[in-house]
Amino acid sequence: MLTKVGLIIVGVLVIAVIMQYQYTSHLKEMVAIERQAAENARQRTQEARQQTLEALGELETAERRRRLAEADIKALQEELAEQAEDYNILRQRIQRSPASDDGPVAPVLRSTLESLP
């Protein structure tokens, strides 16, 4: 009787050891899967970080170009304002000149002068 009980206990222990081994193997596989997932996530994070840094560099370049373009536009506007002021001075001088200063002008020249801003 003791041997039957001993055999049953040994059988139960063997089954428990086998089940424990299988469970441990399963856990090792799960850990390996999770480690691989973590590594993949780290790689994706690094790639995203690199893309973000590249995008920031492109944004800085675009901002620099925008500022330069705005400065160029401002310079052109100032130049146009100066030209307009010069034209206004000429126009006023022409308008103030006496009629005796008028003389015959070729039609092409007259239309060109009149079309100036």
Tokens 């009980």 label which residue? 5
Positive or negative, the CA dihedral 63, 66, 67, 68 is positive
What is the rounded distance in angstroms from the CA atom of residue 107 to the CA atom of residue 97?
20
**What are the C-alpha distances in Å from 25 to residues 18, 28, 32, 52, 59?**
10, 5, 11, 40, 50
User: So what's the pLDDT on residue 62?
Assistant: 98
pLDDT band at 117 (very low <50, low <70, confident <90, very high): low
pLDDT in tens, 62-100: 999 999 999 999 999 999 999 888 888 888 887 888 877
Tokens 């089954």 label which residue? 15
pLDDT in tens, 9-26: 888 999 999 999 999 999
User: So what's the pLDDT on residue 24?
Assistant: 96
Specify the 3-state DSSP secondary structure of 117.
coil
User: So what's the pLDDT on residue 1?
Assistant: 63
